[in-house]
Amino acid sequence: MANQTVSYLEVDRPTPECPVEVTLHALRGRWTTLVVRELLGGARTYSELAGALAVSDKVLADRLAQLVECGVVERSRVAGWPPRVSYALTPRGQALRGVLDALWEWGSHDCS
Amino acid sequence: MANQTVSYLEVDRPTPECPVEVTLHALRGRWTTLVVRELLGGARTYSELAGALAVSDKVLADRLAQLVECGVVERSRVAGWPPRVSYALTPRGQALRGVLDALWEWGSHDCS
DNA sequence: CAGAATCCGAGACGATACTG
DNA sequence: CAGTATCGTCTCGGATTCTG
């Protein structure tokens, strides 16, 4: 995964478009990380995701479109009937695993 | 920093209150990570933060209150005149450095 | 100096209804 | 099956004004 030597602190000017913002923008939305988490277990169809996540169609479709646009998820139609669509993580999406682990790590400590 | 062996994938049920959500909730808001980034360089007064971040008073005050509530930032009045308030990261706040580095890492790769 | 109060607009969520 | 359309609600952000 390239070089890990660059630190968040080593950049001169904090702008709203810095890499940290890019990542948070990709993960934006209450259900986004849960969708990614599902797909880390392998490709899923739309209905499988809908069944696993108890989320409305609108929100699920919105988040999937967002993830596709960010290059995290790839969408593909499955031949045959009934029509199905499969969603899978791209290599870039797979790379989110480390990010989610870091978020999990910090959030699992007590706040007291 | 405790054990890093737990993975985001190893948990049974994804809930809106899982640790990942805790972290994203703490970092919620466009300016939050930039405030944390400033404080990673050491304690800052309110006006120092305001000068460095070109953000409105309302938003800055909102984000600081949020970070204090999450246990990330500690607020302390400075004696003397004019009245000043100093903000500094708690140990829990310092621990965000690794999280921000992970977010930076992922976001700095091209999407193409 | 360090904010609080108020008002407005944008975006995300949620439920419901409808369609290729 | 896999969405889109619509509507109401809520939170965040930005600007302005005011105060201990």
Q: What is the CATH number of the domain that holds B84?
A: 1.10.10.10
Apex B37 CA angle, B36 and B43, nearest 5: 70
Q: Do B103 and A6 touch (CB under 8 A)?
A: no
Is residue B38 one of the residues assigned to a domain? yes
Contacts of A104 in chain B (CB under 8 A): 6-8, 18-20, 23
Residue A79 predicted with pLDDT over 70 = yes
DSSP B61-87: HHHHHHHHHTTSEEEEEEPSSS-EEEE
Cis peptide before B82 (omega within 30 of 0): yes
Is residue B33 one of the residues assigned to a domain? yes
Tell me, what DSSP letter sits at residue A79? P
The verdict on A101 touching B (C-beta cutoff 8 Å) is yes
Instruction: Give the predicted TM-score (pTM) of the model.
Output: 0.85
Predicted pLDDT of residue A54: 86
Q: In what order do the strands lie in the sheet with B44-45?
A: B44-45, B84-89, B73-78
Predicted pLDDT of residue A60: 96
Mean predicted confidence (pLDDT) in B57-78: 96
3-class DSSP state for residue A92? helix
Is residue A11 one of the residues assigned to a domain? no
Helix, strand, coil % in chain B, rounded to nearest 5? 50, 10, 35
Predicted pLDDT of residue B111: 58
CA of A48, C1' of C17: distance in angstroms = 22
pLDDT digits (tens, 9 = 90+) for B5-23: 334 443 333 344 689 999 9
3-class DSSP state for residue A18? coil
Predicted pLDDT of residue A111: 60
Residue B62 predicted with pLDDT over 60 = yes
Mean predicted confidence (pLDDT) in A67-94: 95
Instruction: Judge whether residue B24 contacts strand C, using its CB and a 7 Å cut-off.
Output: no
**pLDDT-based confidence at A44, cuts 50/70/90?**
very high
Is residue A9 one of the residues assigned to a domain? no
Predicted pLDDT of residue A16: 41
pLDDT digits (tens, 9 = 90+) for A57-74: 999 999 999 999 999 999
Contact B106, A95 (CB under 8 A): yes
Contacts of A23 in chain B (CB under 8 A): 103-104, 106-107
Is residue B37 one of the residues assigned to a domain? yes
Is residue B3 one of the residues assigned to a domain? no
Strands B44-45 and B73-78: unpaired
Spatial CB neighbours of A48, under 8 Å, sequence gap ≥ 6 = A38
Predicted pLDDT of residue A81: 87
Question: Domain range for residue A92?
Answer: 20-96
Q: How many domains does chain A have?
A: 1
Structure tokens, A110:
């007590």
Predicted pLDDT of residue B37: 95
Mean predicted confidence (pLDDT) in B42-71: 95
Is residue B90 one of the residues assigned to a domain? yes
pLDDT digits (tens, 9 = 90+) for B35-48: 999 999 999 999 99
The verdict on A1 touching B (C-beta cutoff 8 Å) is yes
Structure tokens, B22:
């805790």
Residue B54 predicted with pLDDT over 80 = yes
Is residue A41 one of the residues assigned to a domain? yes
pLDDT above 90 coverage of chain A, percent: 73
Mean predicted confidence (pLDDT) in B70-83: 94
Mean predicted confidence (pLDDT) in B85-105: 96
